[in-house]
Chain A
Amino acid sequence: MEHHLILRVITKILIAPIILFAFYVQFHGDFSPGGGFQAGIIMAVAFILYGLVFGLRQCKSVLPDWLVHRIMALGVLLYAGTGVAGLIAGGNFLDYSVLAQNPITGQHNGILIIELGVGVTVAAVMISIFYAFAGRPPRISDEDW
């Protein structure tokens, strides 16, 4: 029998609620505690849990290195792109009020997109830090120093 059977079963049960909760924290962040940073961490935790229990190799087959790096860049692009969109629409950098006809709607949409960019970036950075630590060689001999 599998030695870590309990952990594997519980992990399978928990990963979907963790991702759902990450989305809740992400998109409910303007009405309740939460936002991009917290949601990104929670999203990354789901993948880190999967990697810890099922193995780094399997986690990388779900979310390979090159994809993590591109997601990281995509989040920053989303953030900066919103700022530039404000410039193009005639406001200052990161001025959300000009993004829609109604300034209130514009601010609402702007903060939502900004937080999405932050969340995506934080999640990707956390996963890539986990990959870097978990993928290191298990032992460093004295000659390697």
Chain B
Amino acid sequence: MGIFDTIIYVLSWVSILSGSAFLIIGAAGIIRFPDFWSRLHAASVIDSAGMALLLLGMMLQAGLTLITVKLFFIGLFLIITGPTSTHAVANAALVSGSRPLGDDSSPTITPEQVAEAVTQTPDPIEEEPSKL
């Protein structure tokens, strides 16, 4: 094993271990944080840093093979879908009237305004065929 291989090996394990550390931090945050919004924030650490570092570590382990290409596509898929699902969850929470802890000031958007905005867009299951 040459010096180059050793460097790649060490780098891959560094990113796998730090990615795992981010996963543990995110998991602890999901359990320990007090309300929905801060938990969502903790989960985003898993989505971004943990996923990216773990995939990078596995790519370095695999080298220039088909597995690396597959891992790259998995990463691409997660980069697209992760924020989208977070958006959907946060949007649903906002619409249902959930507000962050300690937000005693009157919100810039009241739940009534949000509900009004949503009722203008009918439920997808019930609505007429969209033009989009």
Contacts and interface: CB of A to CB of B under 8 A. Distances in A.
A3 B117 CA distance: 8
A108 interface: no
Interface residues of B, number: 18
B84 A4 contact: no
B81 A14 contact: yes
A14 to B, nearest CB: 7
B77 A53 contact: no
B125 interface: yes
Given A10-B81, A10-B84, A14-B80, A55 B130 contact: yes
A17 B76 CA distance: 11
A58 B129 contact: yes
A45 to B, nearest CB: 12
B132 A2 contact: yes
Nearest to B76: A17
Contacts of A58: 129-130
A58 B128 CA distance: 8
Given A4-B121, A17-B77, A55-B127, 17 more contacts: A2-B132, A3-B117, A3-B118, A3-B121, A6-B84, A8-B132, A54-B124, A55-B124, A55-B125, A55-B126, A55-B129, A57-B127, A57-B128, A57-B129, A58-B129, A134-B125, A138-B126
